[in-house]
Amino acid sequence: MDKVVGSVASAVADIPKGASIAVGGFGVCGIPSVLIDAVRELGVDELEVFSNNAGIDDVGLGRLLADGRLRRVVASYVGENAEFARQYLGGDLELELTPQGTLAERMRAGGSGIPGFYTSAGAGTQIAEGGLPWRFDADGDVVKASPPKDVKVFSTFGEPKGYVLEEAIVADFALVRAAVGDRHGNLSFNASARNFNPAAAMCGQIVIAEVERLVEPGELAPEDIDLPGIYVHRVVELSPEQATDKLIERPAFTER
């Protein structure tokens, strides 16, 4: 039951080239930055990533992106990252843009054994009709576009309305960051750092969590556990320096 591993390098050592990885975080809040750096040091590439966004330049997933390690990204937001735009528009990276709520539910469904679901998000748009550019070539021509999705009309909530079929996400690995974790893998996230972390963990077949503070089983009250240890396979305890190394995406200051 003790899921704590001795080092961050050993925690990610079996991630192979071409793996699919779900990554928690939102912007730079709650991102598993230490695990991401360990994957970078591992040297694997051709990775497919499921994440709300792709980090910012040279931060989080942006570091893997800068090294050319990512083959495909499924995300809901890709702003704040000039290198991402360069690779996508230059034909070096495939992108599947997904509505944010849909992305979270696709992850949750993957962890719940639900192969797909219908949602109104994207109905009547290219999300449903297809044709969104997934990949360009070096000349800026679309060489791969999103396929059309199944749409059904339901009257469950009143007037008949179109709903789009979305498939669940199941990733080979998931990387998440928690404020507190115990040796059984039970995790507690701090405030908004919860964001995509539980959903990402749910859909990963092997889930690796970096925790800012490690406690013994029983120290976390049941009501404080945001993600039960049944979803988590490996726990890495961060050093005090790693635990406090957090960025603010857009610092703002006022004169006093």
Residue 159 domain flag? yes
Please report the pLDDT score of residue 252 as a whole number. 79
Contact residues for 3 (Cβ-Cβ < 8 A; gap 6+): 183, 184, 185, 229, 232, 233, 234, 235
Q: What is the pLDDT of residues 144-153, one digit of tens each?
A: 999 999 999 9
Banded model confidence at residue 221, pLDDT cuts 50, 70, 90: very high
Stretch 217-246: mean pLDDT: 95
Stretch 167-187: mean pLDDT: 98
Residue 2 domain flag? no
Residue 33 sits in the same domain as residue 64: yes
In 80-223, where do the E strands start and end? 94-97, 116-119, 133-136, 142-145, 151-154, 161-167, 171-182, 187-188, 204-215
- With CA atoms as reference, report the closest residue to 39 among 194, 236, 243: 236
- With CA atoms as reference, report the closest residue to 169 among 209, 202, 143, 147: 202
Residue 196 sits in the same domain as residue 172: yes
Q: What is the pLDDT of residues 181-207, one digit of tens each?
A: 999 999 999 999 999 999 999 999 999
Our count of domains for the chain comes to 2
- 7 touches 158 (CB < 8 A): no
Boundary of a domain, candidates 152, 167, 182? 167
Boundary of a domain, candidates 126, 151, 167? 167
Q: What is the pLDDT of residues 39-65, one digit of tens each?
A: 999 999 999 999 999 888 888 999 999
Residue 92 sits in the same domain as residue 196: yes
Tokens of 86: 């360069």
**How far is CA 239 from each of CA 18, 183, 210, 212, 227, rounded to the nearest angstrom?**
30, 16, 10, 8, 22
* pLDDT exceeds cutoff 80 at 248: no
Q: Domain limits at 141?
A: 117-167
Q: What is the pLDDT of residues 88-107, one digit of tens each?
A: 999 999 999 999 999 999 99
Residue 82 sits in the same domain as residue 179: yes
Residue 106 sits in the same domain as residue 129: no
Residue 147 domain flag? yes
Residue 162 domain flag? yes
Residue 227 domain flag? yes
- 75 strand-pairing partners: 97
Q: What is the pLDDT of residues 73-84, one digit of tens each?
A: 999 998 878 999
CATH number at residue 184: 3.40.1080.10
The β-bridge relationship of strands 94-97 and 70-75 is parallel
Residue 74 sits in the same domain as residue 181: yes
Residue 24 domain flag? yes
Average pLDDT over the chain, rounded to an integer: 95
Please report the pLDDT score of residue 1 as a whole number. 86
Residue 163 sits in the same domain as residue 177: no
Please report the pLDDT score of residue 249 as a whole number. 63
Residue 254 domain flag? no
- 170 touches 185 (CB < 8 A): no
Residue 51 sits in the same domain as residue 154: no
Residue 227 sits in the same domain as residue 187: yes
Tokens of 226: 């945001």
* pLDDT exceeds cutoff 80 at 250: no
Stretch 126-134: mean pLDDT: 96
Residue 123 sits in the same domain as residue 108: no
* pLDDT exceeds cutoff 80 at 120: yes
Residue 123 sits in the same domain as residue 212: no
Boundary of a domain, candidates 134, 167, 200? 167
Residue 111 sits in the same domain as residue 214: yes
Residue 250 domain flag? no
